[in-house]
Structure 1
Amino acid sequence: MEKGEEVSNKQIIFKDYITGFPKETDMVLSTGTIKLKVPEGSNAILVKNLYLSCDPYMRSCMAKLDKPNYVPSFTPGSPLTGVGVAKVLDSNHPNFKEGDLVWAMTGWEEYSLLTMPDNLNKITDTDVPLSYYVGSLGMPGLTAYAGFYELCSPKKGEKVFISAASGGIGQLVGQFAKITGCYVVGSAGSKEKVDLLKNNFGFDEAFNYKEEHDLDAALQRYFPEGIDIYFENVGGKMLDAVLLNMKFGGRIAACGMISQYNLEKPEGVHNLFCLISKQIRMEGFLVYYYRHLYPKFLDFILPLIKEGKIAYVEDIVEGLENAPGALIGLFTGRNVGKQVVVVARE
């Protein structure tokens, strides 16, 4: 292909706003065209997408929101957007040139014209799998790092609980906690994932929440003296049970609440008085406000990955046409590890 040539561009188009549980048919594979050249006078960057990330927050982008949200809704009739790894094909921006590898918010399509290049992150270390830059070395990794270290201020010997612990964020939080010298327990939704937590990621204990009829009793079993730190990914009944089992002065980093995303009416949480009676600090956070920590985070995690001290499990799906199914699978627990879609291999 030559610069300026017009080529076909497969895209995953968002059909329309939804309520309730999303379906694969809410997205459709379409083929458009694109010129492989940045328009004259534009500061944009043209990229070929290589890897796309499937993330739970994308469900909120599929709803028509009455109030402002931390991420904008998808536009019906346009491609979905999300974090991706891409290769620069053409650029008018002084900081990026043809051949550079980047990770950024991009379209769910083969080629994207990115008009906000200041949000691009150049990839300079390629001694690790490129797909890690939508996972352990990208937004999920920074989320785990900022949420655990900045919000929770962990200390050696503390007791840490992580829900949805085998996902792209939870698996890292657990390993960060073990490196810090904490006792770590995670919950997940299958025996395979529980085994992964204990055998691959070094969790002290793990349990299948689907097999526990009484989450309060389960947490008492694993934390007889209480929980110091809870990394919240689930919400609902799990959060209610955790509040009863937190220690005095415990910390909760609220990263996500995936159990609530597809409900038209979210579940209530009944044990919030524990925040007062136990002086628990619970804080929600958005990774975008911690972007300034990214260089420090890379300095921290890259050596650990290269030395084999941090493991990372990905669930790889090949082909853009399979991206809708991969995204929907997040909400049924089908993925094992970080869900990644391969659009093209470099």
Structure 2
Amino acid sequence: MERESQAAALRTRWERVAGLAALAALYDRLEDMTGIVGGLRERVADLRARGYYFGRGWEEQTAALQEQWSGQREDAVGILEQERAVLESTAQDIESLLQRATRNPALFDTADSRLSAFEQRVNEAERRVTGSFDQTQQDVSLLQREIARAADLLDLLESASFRLYPQEHGFAACKAEWLPKGNEPIEGILFLTDSRLLFEQRQKMVTKKVLFIATEKKLVQELLWQAPIGGIEVLEIQDKKKFLAARKEFLTLRMEGGDGPPEVLLNLRGTDNEEWARLIRRAGEGQLAAEQHDAETLSPQQEAAEGKASSEEQASLPTKCPSCGAALPTIYRGMQQITCEYCGTLINIE
């Protein structure tokens, strides 16, 4: 009985390993990569057609990846065929040994040892094949994630209750909770553009209950506050993790020049608060312009000239109301218009 059990265990193990030895999963992986790489250019073109303004270098990157993958795929297939031929030859020997072991229990240990060595050889073959294109696959995966985030952003903007300014472009968005002091958390979407930070409530609210059970809900969608990117200061970045609960990514911001509260506490969902703090600071400093898809690479001298021009542009901003002469409130980067607090004149900021 023990002999039959050992033989059955060896046979089951062999069937599993022999299935892997064909390396069929690697052929599928190569075909999947070919399809993904081939579709990158079209996905980028679709984003451009929808108005996505950032993603500098994506077109050049997709072209380079396609050319790179063409050669790497050929090399990977060559390695794959070599490895498969070696494994098939070895597999025949092990199959013969297992058949003899069923008749001669003294061969069980030998068969077990050969099977372990063969399994290791299969793993080495897989690593050798994937090692020929691992870096390219990582680059493709990174670009895929960036493209997917851009597509999600455009979807959210297209369904938003507000519209961007004519020269404003969306850069990032994430699900978030705004936690107003003394009130219930408000679910929504946090948007970052090259001009503003905005929070739009998108929350299903209960409108009818029966025996304390919600039977009807409606979607509440409304822009609750916005602030120019130059008027935002990151005050605190905090992570909170409770036992068996998801980690919460809190971000505390001070805002000036907008129509929201002077300070907000946000719980970001499905993203990293440190990354968002970095994005908000970069936006406030005007660094997002370097990521525009048509941005040029500047030399140190050109960067210095750009900085000087930006300072001169900031200095030329209006400080007095053209109608009544009263001093205007502080103008922050990202503002498109400002209202005189004394006479109510609306002044466009060029």
Same fold (TM over 0.5): no
TM bucket (normalised to shorter chain) is: under 0.3
Please give the TM-score of this superposition, normalised by the length of structure 1. Answer: 0.20
The higher-RCO structure (CA 8 Å, 6+ apart) is 1
Please give the TM-score of this superposition, normalised by the length of structure 2. Answer: 0.19
Q: Hey, which of these two has a bigger chunk of strand by percent?
A: 1
Q: Hey, which of these two has a bigger chunk of helix by percent?
A: 2
Structure showing greater radius of gyration is 2
